[in-house]
Amino acid sequence: MGTVSKYLSDNAVNAFERLGDFMMPRAGQFPSFKELGVIVHVDGIMEHVPEEDRSALNMLLSVLSFFPDVLLNGFLTLVGTGSTWTGPVGGFFRQLKMGLQSVIVTLYFSGKHGPHYTGPTPLDLTGYRVNAVR
């Protein structure tokens, strides 16, 4: 579809990166989501998402890409607040929050980075090391 992702449009990738910056802003030595450049690895997650869900996510993110920052931040606030509601509407917001947050957090703490980032990754900064024993 797009130049960064074969599953998401360029507008959707842009919105994902902007959402990532709201959720993972620069904090001390920790880079922002966009600065880390990890969005280039989004297909590593998207390839495991069912096509129907990818299509819905692509549509939502494409619409969000046209939101100015203040509305995009308001959308995240609504999703966060809505996830505490009961009933089907609350369930929808919980799924939406989990879906967006899980992709962004997984990418951010993956130990990966974009081609233009040369600093330490969040895993380097936390000192966390995965030790796979076989």
**Each residue's pLDDT tens digit, 38-76:** 999 999 999 999 999 999 999 999 999 999 999 999 999
Long-range contacts of 68-77 (CB under 8 A, 24+ apart): 69/18, 72/15, 72/18, 72/19, 72/22, 73/22, 76/19, 76/22, 76/23
Looking at residue 36, what is its pLDDT?
97
Question: Whole-prediction pTM value?
Answer: 0.88
Q: How confident is the model at residue 2 (pLDDT cuts 50, 70, 90)?
A: low
Q: CA–CA separation, 66 vs 116, rounded Å?
A: 26
Tell me the per-residue pLDDT of 84-122, one tens digit each, with 9 for 90 and over: 899 999 999 899 999 899 999 999 999 999 999 999 999
51: CB partners within 8 A, 6+ apart: none
Residue 27: φ, ψ to 5°: -145, 105
